Amino acid sequence: MITGSLKTTKSEEIFAAAQKLMPGGVSSPVRAFKSVGGQPIVFDRVKGAYVWDVDGNQYIDYVGTWGPAICGHAHPDVLKALHEALEKGTSFGAPCVLENTLAEMVIDAVPSIEMVRFVNSGTEACMSVLRLMRAFTGREKIIKFEGCYHGHADMFLVKAGSGVATLGLPDSPGVPKSTTGNTLTAPFNNLEAVKNLFEENPGEIAGVILEPVVGNAGFIPPDGGFLAGLRELTREHEALLMFDEVMTGFRIAYGGAQEKFGITPDLTTLGKVIGGGLPVGAYGGRKDIMQMVAPAGPMYQAGTLSGNPLAMTAGIKTLEILRQPGSYEYLENVTKRLADGLLQIAKETGHAACGGNISGMFGLFFTEGPVHNYEDAKKSDLQKFSRFHRGMLERGVYLAPSQFEAGFTSLAHTDEDIDRTLQAAREVMAAL
């Protein structure tokens, strides 16, 4: 049973069958609703701000396929462009002009990117950029932050519990200690910790990698001065600064967090939005660094489907829609109404909560706050979040099934959708 009042018979049947076919019944873990309990609902179709499940229930969607659906699901212009591209074939494995078009758009938009390489996922972008950071600097250690997610490549899967924060112990069986031993971790928003790591490892740190606005530990923005401080420290120690903008790129501003906060890293990874719902990732940055990538330089990285014409097409169309005047103002307004509304309702109904939004990305933690890092985020009342999640689902609102995920809006979300969502939240929070 998923919920009391939703009819979900078909979802349950399909998910039961899926569990015999695929580990946990899913193709990616968080989809399985493990952290909120109950079973996932199985989607049938998506359009605009809405998703429909296989039992015919409709939901207002704040997951947006985990970020890409920023123009709204199945935007007609994107679908039309894809239909046309489809007629020319699904994969070339050779240069195509669409790659130039999307590369130019990315280079124009993102301050740090002078050259770009397309790959197929955010994971691939992050593992490739790390190889590049090491190749360029001739150093092996990196600094990442607790609670930041950079895909599932070995060297990023480091458990960063408070006591062993700098030991680099692997987070998953199968990840060798020798791989994660070079991954140093620090709490987000803690410049002092980063400074100490640089001092303890002189001349050994290739660079610092971070989500400039954290979305994978819930929504955690950088404190004033944090990004600038990292820029200064990396320069001082001749290390590279890498913004993982797989989530924030083209979401919190057209030029990403680096445009929003005015801090230019050396390298950047992208994904999600730039694929417009098809599988894409990218890494890019300073030309002198990017020139090291094969075949221009010696750092090897390749991909059979990279620069795929369908993925390039969906990305180009999505960015064309986003760069129309007013897009980000719209996202900011609609999302702020939602984020402020949720906080207000939590307050009125007597629940400790904190949160916020930047453009079309938002978060709500069931804790007094403030939340500056993952340790703070973990103080949230997870039981309460689970009940909130379930109550919202029953009322036709689809939220990410974890307290530690940011929420996403789109250009298709209307004031009326926000009103309905807030009304649902009022009912659920009053009953929590």
Which active-site residues does the annotation give? 149, 244, 272
Which among 195-203, 208-216, 329-337, 376-384 is the span making contact with ligand PLP, rule CB under 6 A? 208-216
CB 287 within 8 A of CB 114: yes
C-alpha distances in Å from residue 256, one per residue of 64, 117, 262, 359? 18, 17, 10, 10
Q: What gap in Å lies between CA 54 and CA 14, rounded to an integer?
A: 9
* Contact stretch for ligand PLP (CB under 6 A) within 119-127, 172-180, 230-238, 282-290: 119-127
CB 399, min distance to ligand PLP, A:
17
User: Which of 25, 122, 276, 407 touches ligand PLP (CB under 6 A)?
Assistant: 122
Residue 171 to residue 180: CA distance in whole angstroms: 9
The 258-277 site mask, x for binding ligand PLP (CB under 6 A), equals -------------x------
User: Does 244 help bind ligand PLP (rule: CB under 6 A)?
Assistant: yes
Q: Which is nearer to ligand PLP, 212 or 356 (CB)?
A: 212
Name the segment binding ligand PLP (CB under 6 A); options: 240-248, 330-338, 347-355, 391-399.
240-248
The rounded distance, in Å, linking the Cα atoms of 57 and 47 is: 13
The Cβ-side half-sphere exposure at 139, using a 13 Å CA radius, reads 19
Q: Is the CB of 121 or the CB of 190 nearer to ligand PLP?
A: 121
DSSP secondary structure letters along 103-134: HHHHHHH-TT-SEEEEESSHHHHHHHHHHHHH
| Closest separation in Å from C-beta 148 to ligand PLP | 7
The backbone region for 25, taken as left when phi is positive above 0, alpha when psi lies in -120 to 50, beta otherwise, is: left
Binding range to ligand PLP, per CB under 6 A, among 102-110, 148-156, 175-183, 360-368: 148-156
247 touching ligand PLP, by CB under 6 A: yes
Give the separation between CA 274 and CA 280, rounded to whole angstroms: 7
Judged by CB under 6 A, which of 11, 112, 121, 327 binds ligand PLP?
121
Can you tell me which of 72, 151, 221, 277 binds ligand PLP, judged by CB under 6 A? Answer: 151
Residue nearest to ligand PLP (CB): 122
Residue found under tokens 């100490």: 196
CA of 371: how far to CAs of 78, 338, 357, 405, 408, in Å? 37, 19, 13, 14, 19
Joined tokens for residue 97: 């002009």
The residues that touch ligand PLP, with contacts defined as CB under 6 A, are 121-123, 126, 149-151, 211, 215-216, 244, 246-247, 271, 281
